[in-house]
Structure 1
Amino acid sequence: MSEQKANISARELVEDKIRSGIAVGDFLPGEPLREREICELTGVSRSAVREAFRSLEAEGLITTVRYRGPMVSQLSVEEVRSIYELRGILESSCARLFTQRASAAQRASLRESVEEIARGHATQNMVLVITSSENFYRVLTEGTGNMAIGQTLFSLLNRLALFRFSSTRWPGRAENSMRELRAIITAIEANDADSAALRAVEHTVASGEIALLVIEERNRGAAASGRGRAKKSARAQG
């Protein structure tokens, strides 16, 4: 293996580790990402870690703050709302095109990926939920026959990894999400492209609503933490 290929592989290893860490809640929004710790976690060189940081920053998952370095990005309410609106448009188009173009094998794979997501929720296996969800979208986008729309959707989904852990833990969200995904599959299997597109929009709207609730909860927690620190400081000064 050439040095260039080895370096790319190491960079991808770091990217995957950080993405999955964000998705399952090991890395939280606003949390610093220190080179040395990531090197120890992944066993790769600092140069590969820096390359991974740059790549993830381009995706919007990491933000580099002056004097503080790279940290997990924090999205505003406006940013999240805009991203989910675009996601709804893309997923709706994917569901429609998949219904019109996908092969029988791709339809079967999409159904299986949904059942794997359900198994992950049933066993509280977040890693299985995430990997099966990624497979769902991989099969869905491949079945559209449109590479551009698939690349754009995955770019958005990578950025929204910031909410995967928190949103699936929201009371009732896992059950509702499974109903929404099965409704998409049912429409696809009935060859109803309009219904599949509509069900996909409903899924993204519901996901977006939870993401906004997650942000509100985090903001309340941050505000409470700030008030607590202010009171401690006042007592210390008094």
Structure 2
Amino acid sequence: MLGVGRTSVREAMRQLEAEGIITSYPHKGPVVSTITYEEAQQLYTVRALLEGFAGQQFAEHGTAADIATLLAAVVEFEAAAESGVGARLIDAKNAFYNCLMDGSKNVFVRQMLTALHNRINLLRMTTMTQPGRLAHSIAEIRDIANAIQNRNGPLAAAACKFHIDQAAKVALEYLRKNAAPET
């Protein structure tokens, strides 16, 4: 039907399961994973550390072309926010983070952050649509880009950490309020 073999589909499913995107249950099959409050706390803590490091490395080692690409990603994120189109917003935010990871010039940071971002995408749209969060997110992204553009590694690290900490507060509050009751 789609011209994709079973082996390819199974391998893709195994990869999604390894990344925590789906969970397979016996006699039920694969289901999109959810994230618990505790997992989200841990995820955001690690993400803040890694993105802070990525921001500092970018400021200290990124090229002028990397910075230009990052600044363009910020402009696109602002335009996406203005458009109000959810998919465009997520794509623009992901593009910003991809620029941040690429500019860090560290393949291991990229691999680890990609895995974390794949998990956090389950919450990203929810957090960005909470009242006031999008405007704050735009300002925080601008602060990150400005610190990187000014080649201020410690400030870039702090701006990245602050941005993730703010997103974490919103996500954790959402999870706390909307947690499924234990059975």
State the TM-score, normalizing by the size of structure 1: 0.71
Give the letter aligned to residue 151 of structure 1: Q
Q: Distance in 2 between matches of 1:46 and 1:211?
A: 38
Matched, 1:69 2:26: no
Give the letter aligned to residue 211 of structure 1: A
Q: Shift in Å at residue 44 of structure 1?
A: 5.3
Matched, 1:151 2:111: yes
Moved over 6 A (4+): none
> Residue 197 of structure 1 corresponds to which residue in structure 2?
157
Q: Distance in 1 between matches of 2:9 and 2:132?
A: 37
Matched, 1:206 2:166: yes
Larger-Rg structure: 1
> Residue 137 of structure 1 corresponds to which residue in structure 2?
97
Q: Deviations over 1:155-180 (max 9, x none)?
A: 10011111022111111111110011
Matched, 1:217 2:171: no
Q: Distance in 2 between matches of 1:187 and 1:161?
A: 25
Write out aligned runs for 1:79-228 (5 A): 79-219=39-179, 222-223=180-181
Secondary structure class of the residue paired with 1:63:
strand
State the TM-score, normalizing by the size of structure 2: 0.92
Q: Which has the higher contact order (CA 8 A, sep 6+)?
A: 2
Matched positions, count: 181
Q: Which moved more, 1:131-140 or 1:54-63?
A: 131-140
Q: Percent identity?
A: 31
Q: Distance in 2 between matches of 1:103 and 1:71?
A: 42
Q: Shift in Å at residue 198 of structure 1?
A: 0.3
Write out aligned runs for 1:45-60 (5 A): 45=4, 47=6, 48-60=8-20
> Residue 26 of structure 1 corresponds to which residue in structure 2?
none
Give the letter aligned to residue 94 of structure 1: A
RMSD of Structure 2 on Structure 1 (CA): 1.7
- Unaligned runs of 5+ residues in structure 2 are none
Give the letter aligned to residue 24 of structure 2: T
Give the letter aligned to residue 116 of structure 2: L
